[in-house]
């Protein structure tokens, strides 16, 4: 199936895009990492712009309190515990069935990020934690892939195009992850839905511009620019950044996050009163057998992609790759005990 020439006629009429730029978009492969508030909106904007292939990566499922700010999803998705990657692919396919969509239900780790980014032209950051952003930065610099960082809390956010060898990288901006105590979270500060749309659209715009400008080979002309938004007050600022000669990542080519030196098997999840447990296993769990075993011990909800098990005041959501999210605690040690009791490892 080919795109109708009329579908993008107004976009083609915009001279910086034109016919050649639209062709660049149609031939592009883009990875969207994280499909929550930012990522789901980014993915929709890219599909509507005519990007040819999207790799959609997310570890999570749709919940009711996602819906005010994650505009791609529906109440049906939340009620049926649809995984975000597959729900996003279904909705995006309804927008444009020509777009090639590759949904992947997975946590982004140092073990799989190289394969997740293999063959992509540019990466879009829809994640919500610093550890993964530093991992993305390591991988993109090591692999020479540009990426667009974005983040939001409340109605304030930021976005930045990072192009290895041409611009500052994320570690030029923040050499080390900030302490947990110094940062607000989406649970404590909140997130405003309309503000999400602005940041995500800005990220998508930066990616589209980079994709269409490849035809003119203008990479060397691009500057390192962080755009900072205070959307409640209507303030937008551009901050020019300089590539640091002492940056451990883009200058010294040290990639500790990519090498797994900062990875952990237990991660407290933002705003969920939950801990994710990631235990490498051989092969994949048989979710049907797991659901049958757990039904003797408590309440079970089973879908093709996950099993959700509830006993007393704790709920555990388990995926076929062995990953689980333990709800009702922010204590990693307690979450590990629950995982080991019911899953093993």
List the catalytic residues. Answer: 186
Name the token pair of 170: 């994320």
Cα pseudo-dihedral 135, 159, 127, 55, rounded to 10: -90
Distance between alpha carbon 65 and the CA centroid of its chain, in Å?
18
Give start and end residues of each alpha helix (H) in the chain.
9-13, 18-26, 37-49, 75-79, 84-95, 113-117, 130-143, 170-173, 193-213, 287-294, 332-342
**Contacts of range 139-142, beta carbons closer than 8 Å, 24 or more positions apart:** 139/113, 139/114, 139/255, 139/258, 140/164, 141/169, 141/249, 141/250, 141/253, 141/255, 142/253, 142/255, 142/258
What span, in angstroms and rounded, lies between the C-alpha atoms of 156 and 152? Answer: 6
The helix (H) or strand (E) run that includes residue 31 is: strand 29-33
Contact 62, 78 (CB under 8 A): yes
Are 252 and 312 contacting, i.e. CB atoms less than 8 angstroms apart?
no
CA angle 69, 125, 210 (to 5 degrees): 115
Q: How many residues does the chain have?
A: 345
| Residues 6+ away with beta carbon under 8 Å from 310 | 298, 299, 300, 316
Q: Is 300 within 8 Å of 315 (Cβ atoms)?
A: no
CA angle, residues 57, 330, 320, in degrees to nearest 5? 40
């Amino acid at each position: 199936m080919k795109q109708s020439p009329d579908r993008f006629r107004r976009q083609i009429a915009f001279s910086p895009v034109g016919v050649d730029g639209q062709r660049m978009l149609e031939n592009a492969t883009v990875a969207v990492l994280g499909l929550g508030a930012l990522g789901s909106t980014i993915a929709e904007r890219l599909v509507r712009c005519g990007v040819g292939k999207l790799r959609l990566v997310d570890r999570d499922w749709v919940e009711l309190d996602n819906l005010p700010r994650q505009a791609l999803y529906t109440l049906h998705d939340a009620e049926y515990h649809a995984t975000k990657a597959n729900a996003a692919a279904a909705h995006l396919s309804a927008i444009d069935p020509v777009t090639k969509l590759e949904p992947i239900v997975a946590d982004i780790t140092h073990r799989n990020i190289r394969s997740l980014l293999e063959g992509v032209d540019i990466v879009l950051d829809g994640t919500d934690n610093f550890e993964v952003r530093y991992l993305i930065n390591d991988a993109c610099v090591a692999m020479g892939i540009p990426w667009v960082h974005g983040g939001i809390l409340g109605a304030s956010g930021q976005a930045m195009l990072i192009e290895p060898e041409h611009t500052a990288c994320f570690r030029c901006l923040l050499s080390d992850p900030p302490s947990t105590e110094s940062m607000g979270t989406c649970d404590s500060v909140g997130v405003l839905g309309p503000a999400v749309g602005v940041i995500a659209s800005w990220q998508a715009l930066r990616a589209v511009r980079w994709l269409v400008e490849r035809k003119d080979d203008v990479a060397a002309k691009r500057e390192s620019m962080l755009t900072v938004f205070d959307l409640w007050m209507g303030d937008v600022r551009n901050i020019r950044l300089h590539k640091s000669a002492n940056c451990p990542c883009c200058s010294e080519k040290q990639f500790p996050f990519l090498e797994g030196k900062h990875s952990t098997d237990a991660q407290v999840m933002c705003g969920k009163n939950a801990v994710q447990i990631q235990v490498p296993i051989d092969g994949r769990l048989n979710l049907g057998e797991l659901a049958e075993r757990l039904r003797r011990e408590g309440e079970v909800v089973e879908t093709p992609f996950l099993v959700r098990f509830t006993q007393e005041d704790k709920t555990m959501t388990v995926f076929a790759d062995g990953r689980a999210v333990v709800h009702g605690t922010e204590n990693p040690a307690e979450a590990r005990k629950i995982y080991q009791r019911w899953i093993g490892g």
